[in-house]
Each structure stands twice: as C-alpha cells, then as structure tokens.
Chain A
Amino acid sequence: MFSLESGSGFWNPILWVLIFFIAFLLFYGIRGFGKSTYKKDTDQTKAFLSGNQEPSAEVMHVKASNLYWGFTTSMKTVYTELRKMHTGNASDYVLWFVIILACLFLIMGVM
C-alpha cells in the first residue's frame, strides 16, 4: 500500500512517516523527563568563545562564502576550470552552443 516500486526496491513513505511519528511521540515524552529550564541572562547563554570577550554579531557572523572553504580549496583545480568556463560573455554562450552542435554533428554524422 502506498509503496513505490522501482523493480529493484521499495520505498513506502507512509510507513516511514508513521514510524517517525510514533518515535517522535515516544522520544518527545522521554525528552520531557529532562530538565527544561535554565538560568537566563547569565554568561552561560553567551556564545562560548573560550572565555574571550564576545564580539558583535557582525563579526561573529561566518560569511556564507567562507563556509565550504575546506571543500573548495581541496577541489581548487576543478573550480578554477569551472569558473573559467562561466565567462559571462554572451558570445561565449553562443560558442558553447555551436561547440555542442559541432560535436553532435560529428558523432551523429559519423554514425
């Protein structure tokens, strides 16, 4: 019932959602045993910076561009090529179109 069959496997979203729902109820209940309060407006609600003075929000804000720095630097060669590809030049857009046209002409023409 409501099962998606691909011929190689199954996926039943309703079932999963039911499981999720029940587990949610269960663990929400369990979670409710925990202490829910805390002392507000003390130092412990400040961001933990190894005891340093907390800077303003703008400074603390990690910019989105820097977010995957590790990933992009390790893939630097790929990204250099990709960036070079996206020149933003309208003529190049057409050139790419013609390149693909030529490639497919060659492939289909030979075949």
Chain B
Amino acid sequence: MEKRTIVAVVVFAIVAVFFFFSIFLIHPFGKPGQVNMDDHIIANTQNETGTNNGVTSTVFDYRGFDTLGEATILFTAVAGVLMIFRRVK
C-alpha cells in the first residue's frame, strides 16, 4: 500500500468520524427544533403571495433572488457547454 493511500484512508476516517459525530447533534429526524421562519412562511404564504404552494412561494417569492441565481447557474452552464463545444476556426 502506497503512502498516499494510507494518508487518504486515515484522513478520510477522521473526517468521517467527525461528520458522524456531528450529525447526532442535529435535532432528531422529524423533530426540528426552531421553526419560526418556516412557520411564518406556511402561515403567510396564502395571504402574502396569493399562492397555495408553499414551496413555490418560497422559491419564487420569499427566496426569489436565489431562484434568479439558480436560473443564472443554468444559463451559465449552458453558455459554458456551448462554449466548450464551439467550433474553433
């Protein structure tokens, strides 16, 4: 076994152990601790945004700017792919 593999395995194990430790400190599955932001969204999504779908209202209204970024990401990727596959003179 070469040196790189040993180092990689050790480091991998350390990071994995820390991740495993840390996830047990998150709230248990299905019981979120604080929910005030999300409850606010659910409670107000109909009268503020006039939308029945809470997720869509989050995506396009409350966090609409993220969605703009998301659309931009796709646009960027498309531009990148088109650029990579362009025909060079």
Contacts and interface: CB of A to CB of B under 8 A. Distances in A.
Contacts of A95: 4, 7-8, 11
Given A105-B18, A109-B18, A98 B11 contact: yes
Contact of B7 (A99, A105, A106, A109): A99
A92 interface: yes
Contacts of A101: 11, 15
Nearest to B14: A102
- Chain A interface size, as a band, is under 10
A106 B14 contact: yes
B12 interface: yes
Interface in A71-94: 92
A105 to B, nearest CB: 4
Contacts of B11: 95, 98-99, 101-102
Nearest to A89: B4
A106 B10 CA distance: 12
A101 B14 CA distance: 9
Contacts of A109: 18
Nearest to B17: A105
Contacts of B14: 102, 105-106
B69 to A, nearest CB: 24
Contacts of A106: 14
B18 A98 contact: no
Interface in B1-35: 4, 7-8, 10-12, 14-15, 18
9 contacts: A92-B4, A95-B7, A95-B8, A95-B11, A99-B7, A102-B10, A105-B18, A106-B14, A109-B18
Given A98-B12, A102-B10, A105-B15, 17 more contacts: A92-B4, A95-B7, A95-B8, A95-B11, A98-B8, A98-B11, A99-B7, A99-B11, A101-B11, A101-B15, A102-B11, A102-B14, A102-B15, A102-B18, A105-B14, A106-B14, A109-B18
